[in-house]
Amino acid sequence: MSRLTPLKAGEVIRKIHRLGFLGPIPGGRHMRMIRPDSGQIVPIPMHKGKDVSVGVITEIIKLLQISREEWIEL
C-alpha cells in the first residue's frame, strides 16, 4: 500500500476537482468544495504556509469514499 504524504492545499483542491467537485467556496473557518449532483460538501483547511496533514487527508478520503490508491492516482 502506498503511503500518503502531506500536500499543499492547492494540490488537495486539484485532486478533489478531478472527482467532479466545485469550489473552493469560502465560509467559516475552512474553504469548502461541493459536488453539484449529490450536494456533498468537503471542507478543506487552508492555512497560509502550512501543508494539509496526512491525518486530514485521510479524513477527506473517508468523506469522499475512495481508497488511498485512488487518491494517490488522482
Domains of the chain, by residue range, sit at 9-73
Q: For the chain, what's the residue count?
A: 74
Whether this model's pTM surpasses 0.75? yes
Q: Is a pLDDT exceeding 80 seen at residue 2?
A: no
The pLDDT score that the predictor gives to residue 1 is 60
The pLDDT score that the predictor gives to residue 49 is 82
Q: Report angle CA 69, 66, 58 to the nearest 5 degrees.
A: 80
The pLDDT score that the predictor gives to residue 59 is 95
DSSP string for the chain:
-PPP--B-HHHHHHHHHTTT-EEEE--TTSEEEE-TTT--EEEE---TT-PBPHHHHHHHHHHHT--HHHHHH-
Report cis status (omega within 30 of 0) of the bond before 36: no
pLDDT tens-digit series, residues 10-66: 999 999 999 999 989 988 788 899 999 999 999 998 888 899 999 999 999 999 999
Q: Any idea which architecture 9-73 has in CATH? A: 2-Layer Sandwich (3.30)
